[in-house]
Amino acid sequence: MAKTLLIHPEKCTGCRMCEMICSFRDRDNFNPQRSKVRVRKNEALGIDLPILCLHCADAPCSRICPAGAIQKGPQNIVNVDPSLCDGCQVCVESCPYGAIRYEDDQILKCDLCGEEPSCVAWCPTQAISFEEVPLEERIANRQEIQKVLFDLENRED
């Protein structure tokens, strides 16, 4: 059983440490705007949700990429080959979690820091984990994330 990212919305405090460590690891600069992780917030609802690529088993971004720039690599990590990317951005629209961005003429998405996600190591509340879980648990986690995303996008309470 391969490891997978799990998001635990009930544990996220919105501290944005995941954004900071991601930007530092990737860009050598503490700048949340340059992070491959985004924390979506709704203060009124008290919701904070880390958004990052969950490396879907049947990745829609990979299926839809006309240039073949997004492929599953070793350990089921969904990777982008920048030399093949033509900048069409259909992957951005296809991601069910909103975890892919296009910035500075390149696709930005989580690459799991190879196989040791820094956001997991640095999250003080373990709102992001990387572990081996049964398929049923992974599916339940994805459904929970979809529900929270729906609430974030459709409720303004």
DSSP calls for 78-146: EEE-TTT--S--HHHHH-TT---EEETTEEE---TTTTS-HHHHH-TT--EEEEE--HHHHHHHHHHHH
Per the CB < 8 A criterion, the answer to whether 109 and 53 are in contact is yes
46 and 23 together in one domain: yes
66 and 142 together in one domain: no
Q: What is the pLDDT of residues 86-98, one digit of tens each?
A: 999 999 999 999 9
Left, alpha or beta for 93 (phi > 0: left; psi -120 to 50: alpha)? Answer: alpha
97 burial (CB, 10 Å; 0-12 / 13-18 / 19+) is: middle
C-alpha dist (Å) from residue 5 to 47, 75, 77, 151 = 19, 12, 11, 21
pLDDT > 90 in the chain, percent: 78
116 and 96 together in one domain: no
CATH number, domain of 48, equals 3.30.70.20
Q: What is the pLDDT of residues 68-85, one digit of tens each?
A: 999 998 788 999 999 999
17 and 44 together in one domain: yes
45 and 67 together in one domain: no
Q: What is the pLDDT of residues 7-26, one digit of tens each?
A: 999 999 999 999 999 999 98
93 and 119 together in one domain: no
Per the CB < 8 A criterion, the answer to whether 65 and 82 are in contact is no
CA distance 156 to 154: 7
Q: State how many domains the chain has.
A: 2
84 and 114 together in one domain: no
Per the CB < 8 A criterion, the answer to whether 25 and 113 are in contact is yes
47 and 117 together in one domain: yes
Around Cβ 56, how many Cβ atoms within 10 Å?
A: 20
Q: What is the pLDDT of residues 115-138, one digit of tens each?
A: 899 999 999 999 999 999 999 999
If DSSP codes are grouped into helix, strand and coil, which group holds residue 27? helix
Domain of 36, in residue numbers: 1-52+110-157
Q: Report pTM.
A: 0.89
Around Cβ 89, how many Cβ atoms within 10 Å?
A: 13
48 and 125 together in one domain: yes
